[in-house]
Amino acid sequence: MKILKILKIVLLLFVALPLYGQDITLEDLYEKNTFSAKGIQQMRSVGDGYYATYTKEGITLRKYADEDYKKILLDSLVYDGKKIKFSNYQFSGERDKILLSANVELIYRHSYKADYYLVDIKTNENYYLTDKGKVQEITFSPKGDKLAYVRENNLFVFNLETKKETQLTSDGEFTKIINGLPDWVYEEEFGFSRAYAWSPDGEQIAYMKFDETEVPTYSLQFYGNGKSYPDLYTYKYPKAGEKNATVSVWVYDLNTAKNTELNVNKGSEQYIPRIKWTKGEHELMILRLNRHQNNLEYLIVNTQNNIVKTVFIEKNKYYVDATNFDALTFLNKDEFAFLTELSGYNNLYKYNYKTRTLTPWLKKDWDITAFYGVDKKGNAYLQVANQKPYNRAICKVDKHGKLLFLTEDEAYHNARFDKDFKFWIHSYSSTKKAPIYEVKSTQNNISYILENNNELQRKWDSMDLPEKEFIELPSAEDTVKLSAWRILPKDFDQSKKYPAFITQYSGPNSQQVKNTFGVSWYDYLAQEGFIVYCVDSRGTAARGEYFRKQTYMQLGKLESEDMIAVGRHLQSLPYVKANDITIWGWSYGGFMSTLCLMKGGDVFTSAIAVAPVIHWKFYDSVYTERYMRTPQENPDGYDNNSPLENVDKLKTNKNLLLVHGTADDNVHVQNTYALTHKMVAKDIPFDMHIYTDKNHSIYGGKTRLHLYKKFMEFLKERKLTNH
């Protein structure tokens, strides 16, 4: 019996520490998700001190102030005798109705269409809302008595009391007219998928109409259908210097059933990146941006008389940061708060458009990276990069500018506040600490853990992996140091030499060097004998406006010079194999890795480029022209740092692996094909791997496992590992 008990104890210990002394496998990372962190599943703040979650139990109502309070609102959905598997949910304003989505069909990066069911919590009745077809961007009216949505590019309203559908537009047509939704390039580059907004009283809907008739098309072929011919998907994609959609703004009045076009100049040489109702009566704010994206107008339109006023203009010698558009927050009927780089850093300002007074609210020599909003007392809540660019902190600033930090640890802190800013979900991690989620109060000392990822932390601790070490590396400019981290191989011996592997993205205002937790391919590479470096070049985020915008009109130049300088520095280190340095990247990072292999042939032995941009003339208008203007205006900027125009610099003894998905709607496979066409013509060897029917992310099923196995095969075949 004693022996049996001992065996049981040993077995339990073995189960508790299943990875102790074991190596990471690619299957752990890309098939079993062994190191995936837990989060808070589909959490929604629903007001009055409540939040909801969607777990295996169903949709559950919780109280911020009471850790133990739990009320299951819906454990399952049965309609017409069938159990419906729903994927998402939203509440009406009074929390008496729940809207459920099912049979989701993805479209682009953010957009999707789905079937929808409505559940009345009080009566327990449910309704199928999409018998006429799947819809997009469905929302409750402010009073919760109506729904708005888009079907087949037209905008509709459904009255929940009369069960009557009203069609607000009728001219919607695929690849021609879109009502209430953005076109492809707006969704991708301005970051939104809904182009309509209910008025605060629920009596009007403002919406954007996209006329993309004259925008050039691009076609994707899909091969996995089993048919004799591939399926063809053709959509509108404006490339740099080509024609954009014409965008107009309209208002539909539900009382008069009248559609009115607002008096905002329309044309393909400008953008409308946001519309938002103000706190004034019948007032809609429209942001209007010129095509160069360096002149942003704040317009207010009275939707009753169609009078338009320009209340503020923001100019920038480079471009206005598009990531700040969502920060626009109305404080009262005459004043708004917003983020701007007027000071040289991303700071918080107030603007009174009645007195035309611009006031700094929080002006510091560091960047605000998120503006969460303002509470009833006038406190603003922010995420900031106030110390080191790879950390984040959460703080609040009162209406007089007094600053109070709500976080202390050196880590990467995030926040989600409830509607009245009395409670918030604090999430944070570091390179050594798995993500923690906790409820906190802005009013008192309430604080408790929702998820601590203890199991993941124990796994990580038991494996005794080499730690990420934050360092600085030299750039191509003597006075500038670059943020970086490195992972040394286990049992690193400084007297030996190791191959080096550089990961980067390098795109404008991006950031890869972060103090966040994760077990990834980079840990696997270190296990395989590489010294892994992650580097943020000039042009990246959280170091002020000049640092991130100095790449203007010359994308790729400074970034590649920096990576080559880093590579040369690594060559000088006694423990790095000077003839064995690999650089890799995805998307913009693939553009960079390819360019670095060409321009830095004396430094880099090998490059892996996934879904790379090969020439900026092949990429979309909004992103490319923001940083480069058009090919017609800046031909040298486009050509000088294009891999397509630098092929001759690629030495035949270098190794290049190109990877692309044929269904990439973002960076078209045309990029890779154009480069390989030119390389073949010049008899330059390369490796290429194509993923049929895969988009820019190249995922699904065993795809990622297959992809990373391919990477390792490429490296090992060229004897680039330390084995």
**Domain chopping of the chain, boundaries:** 76-167, 169-315, 467-718
Domain 467-718, second-level architecture: 3-Layer(aba) Sandwich (3.40)
Residue 253: CA count within 13 A, CB half-sphere: 13
**Mean pLDDT within 646-667:** 95
For residue 721, pLDDT over 50 is answered with: no
- pLDDT, greater one: 529 or 4: 529
Q: Which residue has the higher pLDDT, 551 or 19?
A: 551
The pLDDT assigned to 499 comes to 96
Question: What is the tens place of the pLDDT at every residue in 526-558?
Answer: 999 999 999 999 999 999 999 999 999 999 999
Tens digits of residue pLDDT in 132-179: 999 999 999 999 999 999 999 999 999 999 999 999 999 999 999 999
**pLDDT at position 13 over 90:** no
| Cα–Cα nearest to 605, from 645, 643, 656, 547 | 656
Q: How many CB atoms lie within 10 A of CB 2?
A: 6
pLDDT at 11: 45
The conformational region for residue 326 under phi > 0 = left, psi -120 to 50 = alpha, else beta, is alpha
Residues 381, 370 contacting (CB under 8 angstroms): no
Contacts of residue 397, Cβ cutoff 8 Å, sequence gap at least 6: 348, 361, 362, 379, 380, 382, 403, 404
- Stretch 270-299: mean pLDDT, rounded? 98
Share of the chain above pLDDT 90, in %: 92
**Cα separation, 20 vs 535, whole angstroms:** 30
Say what the pLDDT of residue 719 is. 60
Give the range among 226-235, 266-275, 434-443 with minimum mean pLDDT. Answer: 266-275
Residues β-bridged to residue 173 = 177
pLDDT at residue 19 tops 70? no
Q: pTM for this structure?
A: 0.94
The Cα–Cα gap between 138 and 151 comes to 10
What's the pLDDT band for 41 if we cut at 50, 70, 90? confident
Query: Which of helix, strand or coil describes residue 636?
Result: helix
Tokens 């994206």 correspond to: 293
Instruction: Report the length, in residues, of the chain.
Output: 723
Nearest of 652, 445, 482 to residue 559 by alpha carbon? 482
Residue 679: predicted pLDDT: 97
Instruction: State the distance between the two ends of the chain, measured CA to CA, in whole angstroms.
Output: 48
Strands 154-159 and 146-151: antiparallel
Strands (DSSP E) along 488-526, which ranges?
Answer: 498-503
Residues 209 and 215: their CA atoms lie apart, in Å, by: 14
Instruction: Tell me what percent of the chain is helix, strand and coil, each rounded to the nearest 5.
Output: 20, 40, 45
Contact 511, 536 (CB under 8 A): yes
- Domain 169-315 classification at class level: mainly beta
Q: Say if residue 412's pLDDT is above 70.
A: yes
> Tokens 């906790």 identify what position?
438
CA distance 56 to 62: 15
pLDDT in tens, 179-227: 999 999 999 999 999 999 999 999 999 999 999 999 999 999 999 989 9
pLDDT above 70 (res 10): no
Taking 80 as the threshold, does the pLDDT of residue 6 lie above it? no
Query: Measured on CA atoms in the order 312, 318, 320, 324, is the torsion positive or negative?
Result: negative
- Strand, coil or helix: what is 712? helix
- In what order do the strands lie in the sheet containing 270-277? 270-277, 283-290, 295-302, 307-315
For position 268, what pLDDT does the model report? 78
Cβ-proximal residues to 399 (8 Å cutoff; 6+ apart), any chain: 377, 378, 379
Whole-number percent of the chain with pLDDT over 70: 96
Confidence of residue 265 (pLDDT cuts 50, 70, 90): confident
State the alpha helices, DSSP H only, in 348-466: 454-463
pLDDT tens-digit readout, 311-352:
999 999 999 999 999 999 999 999 999 999 999 999 999 999
When pLDDT is averaged across residues 673-688 and rounded to a whole number, the result is: 97
Write the CB contacts of 700 (distance below 8 Å, at least 6 apart in sequence). Answer: 694
> Rounded to an integer, what distance in angstroms lies between the CA atom of residue 213 and that of residue 244?
9
Contact 335, 358 (CB under 8 A): no
* Predicted confidence (pLDDT) at residue 4 exceeds the cutoff of 90: no
Closest CA to 442 of 423, 428, 459: 423
- Is the distance from CB of 374 to CB of 362 less than 8 angstroms? no
DSSP 718: T
> Who's near 331: CB < 8 A, 6+ residues apart?
279, 337, 350, 374, 378
Which pLDDT belongs to residue 267? 75
* Distant-in-sequence, close-in-space partners of 176: CB < 8 Å, separation ≥ 6: 211, 212, 213
For 553, half-sphere exposure in the C-beta direction (CA atoms, 13 angstrom radius) is 8
What are the tokens at 722? Answer: 């330390």
Q: Does domain 76-167 have CATH number 2.20.25?
A: yes
- Sort strands 357-362 and 347-352 into parallel, antiparallel or unpaired: antiparallel
Tell me: the pLDDT tens digits for 501-530?
999 999 999 999 999 999 999 999 999 999
Residue 723 pLDDT? 43
Structure tokens at 591: 């553009």
The structure tokens listed for 435 are 């993500």
Q: What is the pLDDT at residue 594?
A: 99
Mean pLDDT confidence for 43-64: 93
Give the number of other Cβ atoms within 10 Å of residue 62's Cβ: 19
Residue 70: pLDDT above 60? Answer: yes
